Amino acid sequence: MSILRDEIAAVARARSEAYLAEMAAPIAVNVAGCGSYSALLRGVHEEATGLGAVLGWASQSGRVILAGRGASGKTTLLHRLVLLAVEGGQAPFFIDLSQWDHAASDSWIEISDSPRDAMDFLLRRFGPSKHDLADAEFLPSSVGRVFLLDGLNETPGSTADSILAACDRIASLLVNCSVIVTDRLVRRQLDNEGKWRFSMPLPVEKPEQDRLLKGLQIPLGAEPLLSIPFFLDRAMRGELRASPLETIRELVEDRGGVNDDGLRVIGRVAFNAYEIDRSRSFDMARFAELGGGAAAGMLMASGLLVRLADDRVAFLHHWVHDYLAAKYVAETPELWSFEHRHRVLDILTFKANSFDAIAFALELAPLDDRDSFLRAVYDWNPYAAGYALAEARGVGIEDVPRHVRLIILAMLAEKRFDRHFHSARRASDALDLFSDDDSISLRNAATHDALIEFVAGILPDSERFAVWQECFTMRKGDPAPKKFLEALDDADSVVGWTAANVLKRLSLSGAQKKEIVRLAMQDRAVIRWRACHVMGGFIDGLFNDALLDRLKHDADESVRYGAIRSLVEAASLDEGRVPQAADQIIESLGCIETSPKVLGELSRAVFLSAGYAPANWAGEISRVFYALLERTEDVVEVERWSKVASRLRIHHRHDESLAA
Amino acid sequence: MARLAGRVGSALVAVITIVDEEYDAVRAIGGFGDFASDTPYLFRTKTDGNHFDVILAKSADRSNTPCTELVADLSERFRPEFIILSGIAGGIGDRDGVALGDVIVADHVEGYEMRKLSEGRDVTRRMAIDHPSVFLRETIAHRVRHSDDWKTRIAVERPVEGTPKVVIGNLIAGEKILGDGENAYQRQILQEFDKAVAVDMESHGLARGVYSARGIRHYNLNYLVVRGVSDLVNDEGNNAMRKRWRDYAAATAAAFSMSVVDQIIACCP
């Protein structure tokens, strides 16, 4: 065994033992493998097994994602894996991504293209010691190197994808190397899903709960929480309350000893930390800026605020931070007004990467505001609305009106039939998180017609639902009523987007088409976006010209994003038009390239769901990516576009073979 | 000497093919049996543990990037010492006597797609790659080339009378099939790379993949590109020519490649 390995192991062991010593008592948590990413997200798993199996999976496949809901014990399991790896003679490298911040995001842009630089950066910046990637390479080939990355969901969404890409490459490159990454139940964009092993922590079993609690009094209604390690740990300390939110609320308000005014300031500080530092760790100056010095002192004294290096601080648990930031947002409705919601919800979720704070905000919003908060979330990100409903443990089915849930879930269910493969899959993933009867019925609708049939059969319990239902259940090819076009302009996001989705499948008169083109030039960006969305459902020269015009000239990025999606979608409706559409997109690349969001969407939108691709699709659309390849002299970009073209052909070849 | 092992085991040689004809041609004469463990790759002989003498792989798609990825996957699973790419290519007919059905062994690989167009100038850009192994070419392939035995393994009838020869020379690779002698872009490429004797779409990806795989302390991967000439890119009727010669060209490449493989196994037990 090498001296270097022993040094690395000693540092890792010390760090993990220190972390585990903070637990009230060790809690036995089993894990289970899952057959695929989809199975993991649905919670479908193989037989329960001990933690040691994870190291075996890592050795076999090189890449393991250990994903679960918040507080399910992932970090603790990862620290235990460190100790197991040390015992097994391996060299573990623990990387704590919870310390990710704004500066890390800036640095990441510079180095993420090189897997070596990327992993080296992660080790130096978030590892427990000065050991770097060169140390990992200097180890004898017989020594297993295990990189354990905790908290992928603490990084911005696109960063999370590129961290996984770097892990994938490092696992391939280095001899005797594996990576284990903890994450939330969110599907990441993996280069090759088949290379990864998926696993999940299982709930704490009842005998283990009983053994640890030894007859301790548990608050009424809190028993279901005992299967979750974070709450079982709280219960052993006598700090468990009837709900997750109550437990955290009491932790902050009672143990922290902060009054309402102080809480308001701390909430703002927590939000500002997400906005300015883009991190769970932040500059202590945030408190002073808002006159919260005294509150900070109390939090520090109670142990809820932890001092880190360089005068930075972090809350005891990321849920405390999420709770405080969510409370601030929930109590400030103007933050989720139309003008602010996109920016604010991006901040609160690290750009749609971590939805706990959204779920907390939903729980913390006054009952009367929950509907409008959910609609705001839906407008920002329809999948997030689904996640928020599923994840808000304190929000029962009865706490949100059934019609509100149904509307959101039905709109997600309709997206399962989207022509764009990635949109359809995200919708399925979001819907898979629910297990109530309505969700199961919506999920089980095998065709779009069956879905419409199910929704049409629901007895409306409110005028609002009846109006929405009438719109949603219009049949393909029905003439579009005038009021639906008017609804595109509705301030209510659910009404506006339902109209946009439904109009795509209806029949439009010439005058109505002109009206939609007019709406695509309207002052409000969201209306232009919805109009572009509608146009994707039609083979129409007028629409095609309008979409190209918006793609090239609209000042708003979301409208351009909607325009490229619709251009791709409309092209997929007619095999004869595919070559011309590819040429038009190629001619527009100069405009498309100015926005990473629009360019990224182009490379996703071209992947169509099974059965939707014309025979010439992959061949013709590949030309777009070869044109992008020819426009760059950057090696990484060349490989990126070559890969997209190739992936597109493989994706649709698989589609063709399935059809055959 | 103990071989470096990958996740599945170790392999002395991996043969890479791209399209079905190339894969079938190697398989027809290679004596391959089952899949190596749970991988999609065939093997010929397995000895103690999971040591394979030679495995056969097929790229997921044409073009360079899938080939780079295939090298990464093979390296991770088997850490082969040698990779041989066996397949077809377009020959450049007026250079070094290249003719249909000949076998090209690349001594230098270059990508031609990366260009910088600026201020009226068109300049080629380059990315770091490895070039074909001198050891494989000058020792192993050299020995195979100087015996006609490899020709007896060509399992497909030649479309016209004649005998294939082995040409050693530069190979260029891009993302598009070149096959139109009148095309200005193709003429420009062939003029710029005036020493190239053949064109394909994957060798540059292979070279890039080997460069990347070799970037660690413990691993010294070597590769060779063997291409049967299925068409002459600067001749008329290129597509028809390729259809007629494709199977034979794949068979000549396979015959030469598998002879190289057998020679490696004989030399490096």
What string of H, E and C letters represents the secondary structure of chain B?
CCCCCCCCCEEEEEEEECCHHHHHHHHHHHCCCCECCCCCCEECCEECCCEEEEEEEECCCCCHHHHHHHHHHHHHHHCCCEEEEEEEEEECCCCCCCCCCCEEEEEEEEECCCEEEECCEEEECCCCCCCCCHHHHHHHHHHHHCCHHHHHHCCCCCCCCCCCCEEEEEEEECCCCCCCCCCHHHHHHHHHCCCEEEEECCHHHHHHHHHHHCCCCCCCCEEEEEEEEEEECCCCCHHHHHHHHHHHHHHHHHHHHHHHHHHHHHHCC
pLDDT digits (tens, 9 = 90+) for A281-315: 888 888 888 888 888 888 899 888 988 877 889 99
Catalogue all structural domains in chain B, each as residue range(s) with its CATH number: 10-267 (3.40.50.1580)
pLDDT of B108 higher than 90: yes
β-pair type (B103-111, B222-232): antiparallel
β-pair type (A305-307, B10-17): unpaired
* Token pair in block for residue B235: 């001749």
What are the backbone angles phi and psi of residue B32, rounded to the nearest 5°? -80, 150
Spell out the domain ranges in chain A: 3-202, 208-242, 252-397, 474-659
Stated length of chain B: 269
- A 10 A CB-CB count for A56 gives 13
Taking an 8 Å cut-off on Cβ atoms, the answer to whether A626 and B176 are in contact is yes
CA atoms in the 13 A half-sphere facing the CB of A520? 30
SS3 content of chain A, % helix, strand, coil (to 5): 65, 5, 30
pLDDT at residue number A157: 74
Taking an 8 Å cut-off on Cβ atoms, the answer to whether A638 and B127 are in contact is yes
Residues ≥6 apart with Cβ < 8 Å to A383: A352, A412, A426, A427, A429, A430
How confident is the model over B16-34, as a mean pLDDT?
Answer: 97
Reduced to 3 states (helix: H, G, I; strand: E, B; else coil), residue A585 is helix
Chain B nearest C-alpha distance from A632 (Å)? 8
B77 to chain A: closest CA residue: A172
Residues ≥6 apart with Cβ < 8 Å to A256: A298, A299, A302, A304
Within 254-293 of A, beta carbons closer than 8 Å to B belong to none
Taking an 8 Å cut-off on Cβ atoms, the answer to whether B61 and A626 are in contact is no
Sign of CA dihedral A365, A367, A369, A373: positive
Q: CA A131, A132, A135 angle in degrees (round to 5)?
A: 80
More confident call, A259 vs A618: A618
> Chain A interface, mutation test: which of B8, B10, B18, B61, most A Cβ atoms within 10 Å?
B61
**In chain B, % of residues over pLDDT 90:** 76
pLDDT of B69 higher than 80: yes
Give the span between the Cα atoms of A434 and A208, in whole angstroms: 27
Interchain contact B115–A (C-beta under 8 A): yes
Within 595-614 of A, beta carbons closer than 8 Å to B belong to none
Q: Which of B66, B175, B216 is the closest to A174 by Cβ?
A: B216
pLDDT digits (tens, 9 = 90+) for A467-512: 999 999 999 999 999 999 999 998 888 899 999 999 999 999 999 9
Reduced to 3 states (helix: H, G, I; strand: E, B; else coil), residue A91 is strand
pLDDT at residue number A291: 84
β-pair type (B196-200, A305-307): unpaired
pLDDT at residue number A599: 97
Interchain contact A171–B (C-beta under 8 A): yes
pLDDT at residue number A655: 62
Q: Spell out which residues of chain A touch residue B176, defining contact as CB-CB under 8 Å.
A: 626
- Local confidence band at A415 (pLDDT 50, 70, 90 cut-offs): very high
| Residue pair A154/A350 in contact by the 8 Å Cβ criterion | yes
More confident call, A42 vs A531: A531
pLDDT of A394 higher than 70: no
- Local confidence band at B178 (pLDDT 50, 70, 90 cut-offs): confident
Give the span between the Cα atoms of A388 and A363, in whole angstroms: 9
- Local confidence band at A395 (pLDDT 50, 70, 90 cut-offs): low
pLDDT digits (tens, 9 = 90+) for A541-576: 999 999 999 999 999 999 999 999 999 999 999 999
Q: What architecture is the A3-202 domain classified under in CATH?
A: 3-Layer(aba) Sandwich (3.40)
| Residue pair A569/A419 in contact by the 8 Å Cβ criterion | yes
pLDDT of B195 higher than 90: yes
- Local confidence band at A1 (pLDDT 50, 70, 90 cut-offs): low
State pTM to two decimals: 0.90
Within 16-55 of B, beta carbons closer than 8 Å to A belong to none
**In chain A, % of residues over pLDDT 70:** 98
User: What is the side-by-side strand order in the sheet with A31-34?
Assistant: A31-34, A197-201, A63-67, A177-183, A145-150, A91-96
pLDDT of A24 higher than 70: yes
How confident is the model over A136-160, as a mean pLDDT?
Answer: 92
pLDDT of A316 higher than 60: yes
- Local confidence band at B72 (pLDDT 50, 70, 90 cut-offs): very high
Interchain contact B218–A (C-beta under 8 A): yes
Q: Which amino acid is at A326?
A: A
Give the span between the Cα atoms of A276 and A105, in whole angstroms: 12
Q: What residues pair up with A313 in beta bridges, in sequence order? A: A282, A307
Reduced to 3 states (helix: H, G, I; strand: E, B; else coil), residue A283 is strand
Range of weakest confidence among A37-46, A99-108, A439-448? A99-108
What are the backbone angles phi and psi of residue B214, rounded to the nearest 5°? -80, 0
Give the span between the Cα atoms of A487 and B87, in whole angstroms: 59
Q: Spell out which residues of chain A touch residue B175, defining contact as CB-CB under 8 Å.
A: 626, 629, 642, 645
pLDDT at residue number A96: 94
Query: Is the CATH number 1.10.599.10 carried by domain A474-659?
Result: no
Give the span between the Cα atoms of B202 and B82, in whole angstroms: 17
Give the span between the Cα atoms of A143 and A5, in whole angstroms: 8
Interchain contact A639–B (C-beta under 8 A): yes
Taking an 8 Å cut-off on Cβ atoms, the answer to whether A646 and B63 are in contact is yes
Reduced to 3 states (helix: H, G, I; strand: E, B; else coil), residue A306 is strand
How confident is the model over A383-407, as a mean pLDDT?
Answer: 75
How confident is the model over B115-142, as a mean pLDDT?
Answer: 85
Q: Spell out which residues of chain A touch residue B218, defining contact as CB-CB under 8 Å.
A: 141, 175
pLDDT at residue number A657: 56
- Local confidence band at B6 (pLDDT 50, 70, 90 cut-offs): very high
Across chain B, mean pLDDT equals: 92
Treating both helix axes as pointing N-terminal to C-terminal, what angle do A367-380 and A356-364 enclose, rounded to 10 degrees? 150
Q: What residues pair up with A282 in beta bridges, in sequence order? A: A313
How confident is the model over A365-389, as a mean pLDDT?
Answer: 87
pLDDT of A396 higher than 60: no
Chain B nearest C-alpha distance from A114 (Å)? 11
**In chain A, % of residues over pLDDT 90:** 65
β-pair type (A197-201, A31-34): antiparallel
Q: Which amino acid is at A409?
A: L
pLDDT digits (tens, 9 = 90+) for A317-372: 888 899 999 999 999 999 998 889 989 999 999 888 778 899 889 988 888 888 88
Q: Which of A62, A138, A649 is the closest to B76 by Cβ?
A: A62
Least Cα distance to A616 among A586, A579, A660 occurs for A579
* Residue A419 exposed, middle or buried by CB count within 10 Å (0-12, 13-18, 19+): buried
Interchain contact A509–B (C-beta under 8 A): no
pLDDT of A398 higher than 70: no
pLDDT at residue number A658: 52
- A 10 A CB-CB count for A540 gives 18
Burial A194-214 (b: 16+ CB within 10 A, else e): eebbbbbbbbbeeebbeebbe
β-pair type (B82-91, B10-17): parallel
pLDDT at residue number B207: 98
Least Cα distance to A393 among A253, A222, A237, A203 occurs for A222
- Dihedral angle computed from the Cα positions of residues B18, B22, B24 and B28, in that order, rounded to the nearest 10 degrees: -130
Q: Spell out which residues of chain A touch residue B213, defining contact as CB-CB under 8 Å.
A: 173
